[in-house]
Structure 1
Amino acid sequence: MQDVTKFFNTQAAANVIAIVAAAIAIAAFWAARRTNNAARVELVTDVRREWEEHRHDWATCLLLYNGADDYYVDASIEQRERVHALLANIEGNPTGLTANINAVRAETRTVRRVMRFLAYCGRLVLSNRLSCDDIYNILGPDVARHGKAIRWLCGSATMRESMPYMDSDTEWSHMADQITEWSYFNEQEVILALIDILWSQVSKNGDFGPDSLIRVAQHKRTTKSGLDGRRRIRRLARPRSGILHAWRLSRELKYSERLPFDSVFAGNRRHVEQIDPIYLRRTLGSSFLTRRRIERALELQRQASDDD
């Protein structure tokens, strides 16, 4: 009888110890989680503050790419006048090769500051220190919509490759690529991954017109650039944060190829004439239900147009 009592006392003590250990582990987990969340919030605040300090340089970068008269760029009159004078001087001095090179190379410092910052942002996401949502809240669609400009600014494409329609006979078209650095290959890869992340968030939130989102989704699927982007982000994220996070980022990029239904039809978004169901995420995993939902949404749009 004493042995039985001793056994149950021992078992009860072991159970108490196990419960206490579990409680301590849970408390430690929540404490670590709160600490990590606080550190993430602080990091987001710091990165947002640093981005605000780069706004002036970012506007200059866009003017160098799009031209001083691009009114979509949030730039001051003084910035526009300075870039306009730079382009005019280069066009007016086609024989002064050394002077032109020195003039455009003077802009490299501004471009490099912005590119180093974007690469830093990309590495924060790849290493799981910031989420895709975090970096999108900082940079937003104002950066996401300038993918072509960023490809040129980081040196992964020439001016004429990113703007094939530009006049190739101008002195600026020959001189502009002197501004960018083309040999920082890993940095370029990180920045390209960041562009893909930002556009996936644009697609996820529906922050552009449905026609633009559908057109990009079609391009990514038909040219396989979406697949290339997912491979790139897995390759970059795996050594920094492990296989699981690399897989999560890769899955996140699929939003730019299969759009959420609300990104196309919800709210006050512009009407679309037609859309192939392959570009929308399936409703309850069924392509049939997705197609019926699209047909219903298009019919409601037509009725609203008739009423107007």
Structure 2
Amino acid sequence: MESSFLTAIFLPLALFIIMLGMGLGLELDDFKRIFTEPKAVTLGLLAQLIMLPLVGFLLATIFPLTPELAVGLIIIAACPGGPTSNLVTYLAKGNVALSITLTAISSLITVFTIPLVVNLAMQQFLGAGTTLQLPFIETVIRIAVITLIPVALGMILHAKIPTFAATIEKGVKWLSLFFLGLIIAGLLIRERANVASFFLQVGWVTFTLMVMTMALGYAIAILSQLSQPKATAITIEVGIQNGTLAIAIATTLLNTPSMAIPAAIYSLLMFLVSGVFAWWMQRRPAAQA
């Protein structure tokens, strides 16, 4: 699969479908939950928008990564939660409403934070003299267009024709996973000469990023005396990021496919890690939401 075909056709289509699927399950009340459950929402957003990138910078500094792979790790850490987190939260007996709210609000906020975090990463790992950067205003507009428009369309369908939206929502989510798989396969095929090396370099650091941030997210929620279902939702939100958006930023906005490798490997491992966590939570006694 050629990189130009991958980035020109499959990436925008996959991202559109993923964000449309998220919008189909959203309503305005999901955004209002920050006022009705401020403690849980605020802690979840702090864990995702501040703690996650900080841990990403720490690991990118500690692990022996090339500058491009280090920046790629920060890109995935700067992205919002992925819509798949809502399904995993349900399977883990977590608070699904909180999970949906955190995914929705983080998707709005990261439109503005992604260029700041990624530019800082490029300055740190590529050097102060690097010419590669994300123009703030242009990047905000482009990310908003590829993420917020399909979300808004999905929300309109949910509000105007809820039966139709509910009918196609599950199919849209499975289709988005199919396209994500194609994108990951395309990237790995393109970089097939370096795949083994990339897995050795990035596999452990992406695994550590997920496990470490999920453990910290769970600990913060429990120490803040949130219920177990809310703690579960926050844990999964910091463990499942929007890998498709990260790949789009690396390959389309930065035109550096090697920076997308951490996101591709992360997207593969996140199902394993979150699946084990969901299995563990299912075996625990039911807790009050």
Q: Which has the larger radius of gyration?
A: 1
- Identify, as 1 or 2, the structure richer in helix: 2
Q: Which has the higher contact order (CA 8 A, sep 6+)?
A: 2
**Given the two structures, how large is their TM-score scaled by the length of structure 2?**
0.25
What TM-score results when the alignment is normalised by the length of structure 1? 0.24
